[in-house]
């Protein structure tokens, strides 16, 4: 019987470690949900927030402010970031599929190893952005190279070189 109680207690503790309680302390800089789906966040202020690994699916983020936010590993799936402020964001190792970045300000942003398949960047400001090892279609590279200039202040990488502009 003692063996069974010890084994049950150990199993219970392991379950608690693998499936922690969803209760979290309140924080002014935290964004509670890990997934946003089909939500309207037009003009919302996310500036300076830690948004690592957050999932935005079909979210309207037009004119939202993400300046200096930590977006490493975040996902934007079929979302609208038209005219959004993404100045100084770190979106390394992220994923943006079918996402609209038209007119967005990507100045000083880092997109290292980010998958940006089928996303649009018409009229986007990309001065000093770093796209090192980003996954882009040929037409996207052509679109971005038309406005590419500068050197990223954090990584020291030339924007045109990171895109492979000719």
Identify the helix (H) or strand (E) that includes residue 99: none
Please indicate, yes or no, whether the overall pTM of this predicted structure exceeds 0.85. Answer: no
Q: What's the N-to-C CA distance of the chain in angstroms?
A: 75
Tally of CB atoms within 10 A around 41? 18
Residue with tokens 């290292």: 112
Identify the helix (H) or strand (E) that includes residue 100: none
CATH numbers and ranges of domains, the chain: 35-166 (2.160.20.80)
> How many residues make up the chain in this entry?
166
Residue 136 and residue 146: Cα distance in Å, rounded? 15
Q: What is the pLDDT of residues 45-92, one digit of tens each?
A: 999 999 999 999 999 999 999 999 999 999 999 999 999 999 999 999
Confidence of residue 40 (pLDDT cuts 50, 70, 90): confident
């Amino acid at each position: 019987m003692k063996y069974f109680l010890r084994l049950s207690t150990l199993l219970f503790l392991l379950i608690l470690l693998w499936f922690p309680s969803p209760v979290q302390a309140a924080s002014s800089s935290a964004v509670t949900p890990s997934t946003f789906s089909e939500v309207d966040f037009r003009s919302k202020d996310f500036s300076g927030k830690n948004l690592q690994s957050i999932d935005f699916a079909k979210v309207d983020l037009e004119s939202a402010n993400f300046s200096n936010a930590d977006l490493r590993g975040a996902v934007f799936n079929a979302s609208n970031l038209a005219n959004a402020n993404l100045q100084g964001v770190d979106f390394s190792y992220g994923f943006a599929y079918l996402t609209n970045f038209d007119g967005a300000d990507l100045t000083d942003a880092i997109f290292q190893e980010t998958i940006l398949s089928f996303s649009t960047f018409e009229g986007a400001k990309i001065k000093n952005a770093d796209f090192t090892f980003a996954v882009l279609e040929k037409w996207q590279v052509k679109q971005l190279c038309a406005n590419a200039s500068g050197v990223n202040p954090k990584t020291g990488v030339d924007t045109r070189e990171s895109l492979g502009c000719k």
